[in-house]
Amino acid sequence: MRIDLESFEKWYANQVKYKKVGGEEPGKELREKSYSFKEAANILGIHDCDLYDIWKNEKLEYITVDFVRRIPVDIFEKWYADQDVYRKVTHIPTAEELENDYICLQDAADLLGISREKLAKIARREEIGRLLDSTICNNKRWITRKSFQLFLNAQNVYYIMNDGDKQEESQLLQENETLSLEIKEYISRQDAAELAGVSVSTVTKWMQSGEFQCVGAGKVLRVHRQQFLNWLNEHREGVI
């Protein structure tokens, strides 16, 4: 069986599922006529799930190619012209640019020893956060390495932590958790087990004895901390 070369190339240019070994990228004509939701989202600098919601809520037209939904270019451009909420980004980073010139928000937060949510809040609300030049691409928020360095140079609160800093931070978090455990009036079975150095099932058996006050019901029973500690001190010799 032989396939006409012209029809093969036509098919190849209108699909993205299969790629020639060592050949050009597939879907050239398809990409000229339509966007995947991720491609369209990259144009706007948003997550594709947000664009899916827009298309669903506004009942906008799409096509399906190899079981994947795509947005015709003319439909996208008409929608874009009829709205004033979203703006196209000035530049969509290439894979090489993302690797060399950008750092994803999570990695930047890890370097600073803070949560991703905290860094996002800094970027949105704090004056110093305006230095962070960011964009959403491929459903991740990215910060330019240049602006991240400017951010580091412009303040002395946030800095790249070394291993010693991270160890100290971890120890501080553990101490705070211990302090929080010490001041709770009622504690969970897991907290009680930690205080006693036993398993949760052992604490459950102790609770059934009725020696200390419990509140709640079922799986959310909580133990009166001071009564539990008093009981624990009296029976310490029997605790393994």
CA 69, distance to chain mean position in Å, is 24
List of residues 6+ apart from 37 with CB closer than 8 A: 48, 51, 52, 55, 69, 70, 71
Check whether 166 has a pLDDT greater than 70: no
The burial of 211, by beta-carbon neighbours within 10 Å (0-12 exposed, 13-18 middle, 19 or more buried), is given as: middle
List alpha helices for 154-214, DSSP H.
163-183, 189-196, 200-207
Per-residue model confidence (pLDDT) at position 182? 47
In the predicted model, what is the mean pLDDT of the chain? 83
What are the E-state strand segments in 100-232?
102-104, 134-137, 140-144, 186-188, 214-215, 222-224
Mean pLDDT of 189-214: 78
Digit-coded pLDDT (tens) for 71-88: 999 999 999 999 999 999
Evaluate if pTM is beyond 0.75: no
- What is the rounded radius of gyration, in angstroms, for the C-alpha atoms of the chain? 29
For residues 173 and 188, give the distance between their C-alpha atoms in angstroms, rounded to a whole number.
Answer: 19
Best-predicted range by mean pLDDT (124-133, 168-177, 209-218): 124-133
225: tokens are 């901390």
Q: Set out the domains of the chain in order of their start, with CATH numbers.
A: 5-81 (no CATH), 95-153 (1.10.10), 180-238 (1.10.10)
Per-residue model confidence (pLDDT) at position 133? 94
Per-residue model confidence (pLDDT) at position 170? 52
Per-residue model confidence (pLDDT) at position 239? 47
pLDDT higher for 178 or 115? 115
Longest dimension (CA), the chain: 89
